[in-house]
A = this chain, B = another copy of it.
Amino acid sequence: MSGLLTDLYELTMAAGYAAAGRLDDRAVFEFSIRRLPRNRGYVVVAGIEQAAAYLENLCFSAEEIAWLRKLPQFARAPEVYFDWLRDFRFRGDVDAVQEGTVLFAGEPVLTVRAALGEAQIPETALLATVTFQTLVATKAARLVDAAAGRAVVEFGTRRAHTPDAGVLGARAAYIGGCFGTSNALAGYRFRLPVFGTAAHSWMLAFPSEGDAFHALQNLLGPHTVQLVDTYDTLEGVRLAASLGRPLWGIRLDSGDFAELAVAARRILDEAGLKDVRIMVSGDLDEWKIRDLVLAGAPVDSFGVGTELATSGDAPSMGSIYKLVEIESGGRRRPTAKSSQEKKSLPGAKQIFRFPDHDVIGLAEEPCPKGAAPLLHPLLRDGRRVAHPPPLDIVRMACREGVAKLPAPYRAFDQAAVYPVQHSPALQRLTDETLRRRQ
């Protein structure tokens, strides 16, 4: 992957470290989530696999280096810098939480220990990769929570920020608990369950709705889902019911779902199609799904697109990648920002998870009794040290992690703040580091 896929300042800083003879200073950078998005009491981490693949494949082509050389920002960069770019490989160590892990504000997601230049350049791509998938996995967890046992299928590629984001979003949504996706490439690449039958254009391509329904049944047999709202929704349901089996279900894609689902259920039941399902799609979010479930609407599964693929109510999140320790000339020094709004905590850290709270401590602290550490080795010397668990396992672990959270932390609005403490050792280091600056 192109080393240029980063902010230019990562590359100018690396040139500056080259000029200062400091490219090989040992640095520790920490990826953490400074603030949770609005309405979020937790996040579900995803994208760690793509982050690892990125780090393993990062390099610069000769043509890319030639382009950089001509930029005015690099007019004074030393020759050793361009040599370094030519031979660039990420050779550092990375610890990370497992995908599907539930995390809270301020907690480290990933720690990079590497030569200063090698650790600096990946900042931008690591942030974009992990933040986006984490947003979608988190949104999926909320939707699945709202659906209270009914299936939620990811339908959002067309609304994703590029088609490729749709593929990775489908993966993240699966981690967060979705039942599957409409994205065929995500299904192929990540072996996810894929779903999809027909769109309105299918209905319009036939002279009548009956012709369209009939053709779909011939094609899909027991997998048939009839989309009933192209013309008149309840007429569509009656038509689907009159054609009878094979029929997996019907899909409502517009209108008042609570009313239509009740009416559709009655029509299907009266036709002896009690096991035929009702799927609902169209501008759904966790609030609407919860309301439908609470109203007792006879809906069997939900297809969610826009809101899931873009994490619509919270399309971004304050994730950061900060230098927390540097070793230069044999001297190790923890670092922290002390500006009023954006304080950061120094040192390489570990999360110790207790049953009812988390403690952020220093990486070198022993794990306290009754707690489990959440950051595990991901890369050593730039290479994967562990095979990732299958996504089904990741997804199940995520569901368990979310289900364990007491309801106030899972609230869709104004979620309670989960108790996250700092260990005495971390607190001491923070005080010392900031005092040193004053």
**Copies of this chain, whole number:** 2
* CB < 8 Å neighbour of A316 from B131, B187, B188, B306: B306
In the docked arrangement, what's the CA distance between A335 and B199, Å? 14
> Judging by beta carbons under 8 Å apart, are A205 and B165 in contact?
no
| Inter-subunit contact A163/B125 (CB<8 Å) | yes
Contact B27 A116 (CB under 8 A): no
Determine the interface band of chain A, counting residues with CB < 8 A from chain B: 35 or more
> In the complex, what distance in Å separates the CA atom of A230 from the CA atom of B341?
10
Least distance between A84 CB and chain B CB atoms (Å):
15
CB atoms of B231 and A339 under 8 A apart? yes
Please report which residues of chain A, range 141-188, place their CB below 8 angstroms from some CB of chain B when the two chains form the complex.
155, 157-169, 182-185, 187-188
Residue on B nearest A19 in the bound complex, by CB = B219
**A164, B13: Cα distance in complex, Å:** 22
Task: Report the minimal beta-carbon distance from A291 to chain B, rounded to whole angstroms.
Answer: 18
Pick from B64, B125, B158, B167: contact of A131, CB below 8 A: B158
Asked if A430 is at the interface of the complex by the 8 Å CB criterion, the answer is no
Residues of chain A from 180 to 231 with CB closer than 8 A to chain B in the complex: 182-185, 187-188, 194-202, 204-205, 207, 215-216, 218-221, 223, 229-231
Residue of B with least CB distance to A194: B8
Within the complex, the shortest CB–CB distance from A229 to chain B, in Å, comes to: 5
A198 and B13 within 8 A (CB): yes
Is A437 an interface residue when CB atoms closer than 8 A count as contact?
yes
Nearest-CB distance from A331 to chain B (Å)?
A: 9
The proximity string for A residues 17-30 relative to B, scoring 1 for CB distances below 8 Å and 0 otherwise, is 10110100101010
Given that A231-B338, A254-B339 are known contacts, is A316 also in contact with B310, CB under 8 Å in the complex?
Answer: yes
